[in-house]
Amino acid sequence: MNVTVKLFAQARDLAGTSQANLSLNEEQSVKEMLASLIDKYPALSQIQGNLLVAVNNEYVSSESLIPANAEIACFPPVSGG
Amino acid sequence: MTVKLIDTPIDYHAVTESVRDHRAGAVVLFLGTVREFTNDQQTTALDYDAYPEMANAKMQELIDEARDRWPIIHAVIEHRIGHLELGEVCVAVAVSSPHRKDAFHAGQFLIDELKVRVPIWKKENWIDGQTEWVHPASEKSSSPPPPA
């Protein structure tokens, strides 16, 4: 399946894009999605251990599966306020 | 609206007025402002970026959680995005409750959790012209809570 991953802050700057289009197999985990993302945008490896993933506006763990037709976002730890 | 991201100056007087109520004996307002020095590094400005849909959802979730814990009458969070100069207000949190303790506790909860959970990021503009995204996890801050 094709997924679009929204990127923010330093993740967007390192990747050089605000949206990454990835082709994933069905039933892939967040960890596997991140591996595909970093494979496509190797500069993201600089913050690899810090990347957070949200699916449909909720934080998900690295073992969660990526659902079809979900809104996916990837970003570094937040620093608002 | 009880939560808002805005790219123009926060009207914190209006934010405060919006939580005032005859049922309240206490109104607490917290303002986060752009600080010049972080240890010995000098800031000239900050740039804020946000994931708007999720940031709004998470700010509303925080208010809902605060309402479950304290007898809040009104609560409002406004966060600025874009380019902010020294001293400008980046976030306003206003809470009203019948008594002051609950307003203080709820206000502290809202700003503390905002800084951990709400997808907003700041980029430092240092005086030497360098810029740097702020990364709490590479320092010492906590991660967001695990999914429910």
Position B145 scores a pLDDT of: 54
* Distance from the A40 Cα atom to the nearest Cα atom in chain B, whole angstroms: 22
CA distances from A71 to A63, B51, B94 (A): 17, 12, 31
Name every chain A residue with its beta carbon within 8 A of the beta carbon of B118: 78, 80
* Residues contacting residue A21 through CB under 8 Å, at least 6 positions apart: A2, A3, A4, A5
The tens digit of pLDDT for each residue in A26-56 reads: 899 999 999 999 999 999 999 999 999 999 9
Task: Please check whether residue B147 lies inside any domain of the structure.
Answer: no
CATH number at residue B17: 3.90.1170.40
Q: Do residue B144 and residue A52 have CB atoms under 8 angstroms apart? A: yes
Q: Could you list the beta-strand ranges (E) of A8-48.
A: 19-23
The tens digit of pLDDT for each residue in A9-31 reads: 999 999 999 999 999 998 999 99
Position B136 scores a pLDDT of: 75
Task: Please check whether residue B114 lies inside any domain of the structure.
Answer: yes
Position B146 scores a pLDDT of: 52
Question: Does B1 have pLDDT greater than 80?
Answer: no
Mean pLDDT over the full length of chain B: 93
pLDDT above 70 covers a percentage of chain B that reads: 91
Number of domains in chain B: 1
CATH number at residue A25: 3.10.20.30
Structural domain that includes position B33 = 3-128
Cβ atoms A78, A8 nearer than 8 A: no
The amino acid occupying position A59 is Y
Q: Do residue A54 and residue B54 have CB atoms under 8 angstroms apart? A: yes
Task: Please check whether residue A81 lies inside any domain of the structure.
Answer: no
Q: Which residue has the higher pLDDT, B135 or B62?
A: B62
Position B148 scores a pLDDT of: 47
Name every chain B residue with its beta carbon within 8 A of the beta carbon of A79: 115, 120-122, 133-136
ipTM: 0.95
Question: Does B141 have pLDDT greater than 90?
Answer: no
Residue among B123, B141, B147 whose CB faces A77 most closely: B141
Question: Does B137 have pLDDT greater than 90?
Answer: no
